[in-house]
């Protein structure tokens, strides 16, 4: 895992700032989160009205909440939304009532196997109300009357999402997507948002080849809305990556696109293997994060997903234990480093055609050996030139060369640059 870096510390600080906000698939919590992200990146924020048809879905009513609690007979709040946004069932309709514990119990959600943790639960598309609390808190509640209050609104409004674009040398795009709908869950997905922010800032300093489009949207409905509003231009998306669960202590996991052999799949496999990091590569499944929307058969984009421990793969997932202590600067720095390494490969991966394909061209008289003579990897660099020349047939990419030769991609790309400069290959 990467050591603590300044970026790692700053990403953790960003997660800490966003953590208390009550986010959902719509509402002011999403806007407040994007306001914070907007301090780091210029954003184009989109507001899509309730009732808008987006593919097979409809933008729902907007949900906002001001307060919620359960109070005992003395007025003491035994469950309090002010302490954690997880305490309320997401999208709870308003309620103000007094009822016995027996009537309240069906609206209470706990984790008996982890009695001190509070679960995260939602009811987006079915009118309901409820509270989430620790099992040990529920066990300590005596029978009696309880005051129940959910001060929320569910009304026509908007779904909010935002985009940030890092211009490239070509209009072809790499899509980077993360969801912004979860409340106080540090790994899922505040760490993903933080890594995306710092990845965008790093790319902006590099004048990348591709144009990089970052989408910060609510899960599922947000990605579907983005796709519905970009159907005419989605063909520009040549590669993509969904970022989530980017800060936990587990090893990295790359989930492949629906293709399984898309260029982004091959790049991530190569980078993770070459780095010798502990990692896992998983096949595509139509379950998980928004890669399943981008990879739906009508769009069939080459979009994979990068996480540390995958969706629902750790006990703390969707619980109060997914807190600021669960994510680390080191893990986020490591995730960021892999993203930067992968996009560096993607940006330099080209196909070339050998302009002197009959026999091996004389490299020495073109000065291609001399500049490399002082390098400690001179022999490796010379071998890379021979590999690039041999496989520059218009069908093989530099990543193909690196994979087949076993040479580092950077060495292969540097060799291609030297050969291109000498006129021996052309893109």
Residue 149: per-residue pLDDT: 98
1: confidence class by pLDDT, cuts 50, 70, 90 = low
User: Which DSSP state fits 387?
Assistant: H
Residue 372: per-residue pLDDT: 47
- pTM assigned to the model: 0.95
Assess contact for 246 and 197: CB atoms under 8 A.
Answer: no
Q: What are the two backbone dihedrals, phi and then psi, of residue 149, each rounded to the nearest 5 degrees? A: -140, 125
Instruction: For residue range 212-234, list pLDDT tens digits in order.
Output: 999 999 999 999 999 999 999 99
Residue 298: per-residue pLDDT: 97
Neighbours of 205 (CB within 10 A): 8
Rounded-to-integer distance, Cα 365 and Cα 124, Å? 70
| Statement: residue 371 has pLDDT above 90 | no
Instruction: For residue range 314-358, list pLDDT tens digits in order.
Output: 999 999 999 999 999 999 999 999 999 999 999 999 999 999 999
* Domains annotated on the chain, with CATH: 6-60+158-348 (3.40.630.10), 62-155 (3.50.30.90), 351-426 (1.10.10.10)
36: confidence class by pLDDT, cuts 50, 70, 90 = very high
The CA-CA-CA angle for residues 280, 285, 288, to 5°, reads 85
What's the mean per-residue pLDDT of the chain?
96
Rounded-to-integer distance, Cα 395 and Cα 112, Å? 57
| Statement: residue 370 has pLDDT above 80 | no
Instruction: For residue range 245-283, list pLDDT tens digits in order.
Output: 999 999 999 999 999 999 999 999 999 999 999 999 999
Residue 2: per-residue pLDDT: 59
DSSP-derived secondary structure for 201-234? HHHHTS--SSEEEEEEE-TTHHHHHHHHHTTTTG
377: confidence class by pLDDT, cuts 50, 70, 90 = low
Provide CB contacts within 8 A for 113, sequence distance 6+: none
| Statement: residue 169 has pLDDT above 80 | yes
155-191 as b/e, with b when 16 or more CB fall inside 10 Å? eebbbbbbbbbbebeeeebbbbbbbbbbbbbbbbbbb
| Statement: residue 10 has pLDDT above 60 | yes
Within its chain, how far is the Cα of 408 from the centroid?
27
Neighbours of 374 (CB within 10 A): 7
| Statement: residue 408 has pLDDT above 90 | yes
Q: Which two tokens stand for residue 89?
A: 């069932």
CA of 201: how far to CAs of 7, 34, 304, 363, in Å?
11, 16, 21, 39
| Statement: residue 190 has pLDDT above 60 | yes
337 three-class SS: helix
Assess contact for 163 and 6: CB atoms under 8 A.
Answer: no
Q: Between β-strands 77-80 and 62-71, what pairing exists: parallel, antiparallel or unpaired?
A: antiparallel
Residue 341: per-residue pLDDT: 98
Instruction: For residue range 279-301, list pLDDT tens digits in order.
Output: 999 999 999 999 999 999 999 99
């Amino acid at each position: 895992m990467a050591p603590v870096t300044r970026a790692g510390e700053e990403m953790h600080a960003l997660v800490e700032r966003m953590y208390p906000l009550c986010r959902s698939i719509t509402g002011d919590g999403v806007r407040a989160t994007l306001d914070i992200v907007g301090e780091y990146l210029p954003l184009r924020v989109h507001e899509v009205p309730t009732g808008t048809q987006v593919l097979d879905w409809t933008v729902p009513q907007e949900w906002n909440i001001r307060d919620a609690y359960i109070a005992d007979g003395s007025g003491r709040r035994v469950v309090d939304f002010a302490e954690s946004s997880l305490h309320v069932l997401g999208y709870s309709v308003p309620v103000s009532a007094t009822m016995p514990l027996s009537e309240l119990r069906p609206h209470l959600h706990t984790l008996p196997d982890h009695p001190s943790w509070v679960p995260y639960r939602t009811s987006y598309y079915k009118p309901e109300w409820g509270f989430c609390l620790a099992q040990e808190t529920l066990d300590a509640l005596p029978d009696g009357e309880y005051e129940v209050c959910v001060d929320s609104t569910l009304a026509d409004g908007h779904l909010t999402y935002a985009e940030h674009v890092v211009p490239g040398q070509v209009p072809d795009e790499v899509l980077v997507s993360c969801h912004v709908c979860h409340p106080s869950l540090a790994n899922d997905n505040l760490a993903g948002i933080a890594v995306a922010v710092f990845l965008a800032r790093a790319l902006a300093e590099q004048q990348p080849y591709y144009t990089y489009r970052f989408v910060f949207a609510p899960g599922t409905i947000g990605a579907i809305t983005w796709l519905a509003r970009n159907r005419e231009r989605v063909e520009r998306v040549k590669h993509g990556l969904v970022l989530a669960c980017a800060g936990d202590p587990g090893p990295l996991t790359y989930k492949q696109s629906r293709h399984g052999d898309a260029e982004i799949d091959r790049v991530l496999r190569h980078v993770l293997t070459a780095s010798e990091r502990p990692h896992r590569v998983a096949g595509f499944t139509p379950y998980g994060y928004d890669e399943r929307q981008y990879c739906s058969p009508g769009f069939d984009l080459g979009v994979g997903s990068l996480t540390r421990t995958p969706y629902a793969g750790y006990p703390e997932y969707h619980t109060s234990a997914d807190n600021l202590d669960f994510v680390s600067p080191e893990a986020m720095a490591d995730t960021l480093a892999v993203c930067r390494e992968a996009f560096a490969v993607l940006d330099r991966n080209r196909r070339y055609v050998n302009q002197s394909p009959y026999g091996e061209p004389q490299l020495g008289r073109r000065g291609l050996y001399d500049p490399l003579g002082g390098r400690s990897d001179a022999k490796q660099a010379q071998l890379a030139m021979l590999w690039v020349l041999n496989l520059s047939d218009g069908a093989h990419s530099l990543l193909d060369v690196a994979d087949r030769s076993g040479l580092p991609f950077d060495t292969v790309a540097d060799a291609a640059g030297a050969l291109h400069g000498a006129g021996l290959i052309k893109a």
